[in-house]
Amino acid sequence: MRIWLPVCLAFFAFIGSQPAVRAGEIAFPNKAIHLVVPFAPGGGADIGARRFAKALSDLVGQSVVVENVPGAGGTLGAARVAHAAPDGYTLLYTTPGQQMTAPYLIDNLPYDALKDLRAVSKLTAGVNVLVVTRDFPAVSIQQLIDYAKQNPAKVNFASSGIGSTSHLAGELFKKMAGINITHVPYRGSSVAAADIVGGRVQMTIDTLSVYLPHIRSGKVRALGVSTLQPAAIEPGIRPIADVLTGFEASPINYITAPGATPEAVIEKLNALINKVASDKTLQATFASTGSVLGGSTPEQMQALVRSEQKRWKAVIDSAAIAVMHKK
């Protein structure tokens, strides 16, 4: 005993003196990852999430299971992740609604948008497009603004629902252009698109991939994209910002984890996501639907969340959008 005690003490002292295991050295992942999509199957977020999940699964050699948890503007799925075990095995395929706008649109949100969800990495930046019906009496953004000023409250704009990216994009356009246009909410982009194509609602600012076939067939007219630069998939459509300086209203998809997830796990996940996002073949696949695939650091994504919260809160307050009460 007298011989082994000093040896044991020396061993444990040696172990305690070693540096903490770095993120790249942790045994993660060693089981299936669950990727929660806070919307029903078949939508744009779901399609993008499944492409990402397949690529991540191929990279790590573990299953990445997509779970659809729709409801309450995506906040049910966000709550599922916010209250999951903070071990990196339950992640959220996040859209602007869950962190950037929900705190200002939904009363009694079942999670703290900043404390209970932690940004891991940006993943994609999409493109919205302003389209009007093919017989609308305006062929440019400036003509649309002039027409709306001459005909207050006569122009209706469709969205995929109250508080959606397309709704807030329309409100931002309304605010920056100084016009009075009327919001018409729908239950999803595809339903709204049917009425835009049918001429029952005059305009919308919504996902380019949804409207691209109708633009190319001449069923609707594209006046501008919501990004600061033209979209690579359709470079002939100029940015709305050419007329309304600084206008930007594009959907962002990024990955978040439970707020208490250890730093080493966040760093490992970030490295894996950025590796997936740098794959040229996958980038081309996302580009074919108008999205730009690219990662970020956790700090960059968290800073973007905070700045977007501030920006969209101003739009929500200006538009006096009614707070939705949690049932």
Domain with CATH 3.40.190.150 in the chain: 33-126+251-319
pLDDT for residue 53 is more than 50:
yes
pLDDT tens, position by position, 12-33: 444 444 444 454 467 899 999 9
The maximal CA–CA distance of the chain, rounded, in angstroms, is: 96
What whole-number percentage of the chain has pLDDT above 70? Answer: 91
Q: What is the pLDDT of residue 16?
A: 47
pLDDT class of 189 with cuts at 50, 70, 90: confident
pLDDT of residue 251: 87
Angle between helices 208-217 and 189-197 (to 10 degrees): 20
What pLDDT sits at residue 179?
Answer: 97
The reported pTM is 0.83
CA distances from 327 to 72, 187, 244 (A): 9, 18, 38
Which residue spans of the chain are classified as CATH 3.40.190.10? Answer: 128-242
Two tokens, residue 65: 């299971």
**In this predicted model, what pLDDT tens digit does every residue of 285-317 receive, in sequence order?**
999 888 999 999 999 999 999 999 999 999 999
- For 232-259, the pLDDT digits (tens) are 889 999 999 999 999 999 889 999 999 9
Across the chain, mean pLDDT equals 90
Give me the phi and psi of 2, to 5 degrees please: -65, -30
For the 33-126+251-319 domain, the top CATH level (class) is: alpha beta
Q: What are phi and psi of 114, to 5 degrees?
A: -100, -35
Strands 106-107 and 292-293, by their bridges, are unpaired
SS3 state at 161:
coil
What is the pLDDT at residue 324?
A: 60
The matching CATH number, chosen from 3.40.50.720, 3.40.190.10, 1.10.357.10, 3.40.630.30, for 128-242 is 3.40.190.10
Q: Interhelix angle for 298-319 vs 263-277, to 10°?
A: 80
CA distance 301 to 92: 14
Q: What confidence tens digit (pLDDT) does each residue in 252-278 have?
A: 999 999 999 999 999 999 999 999 999
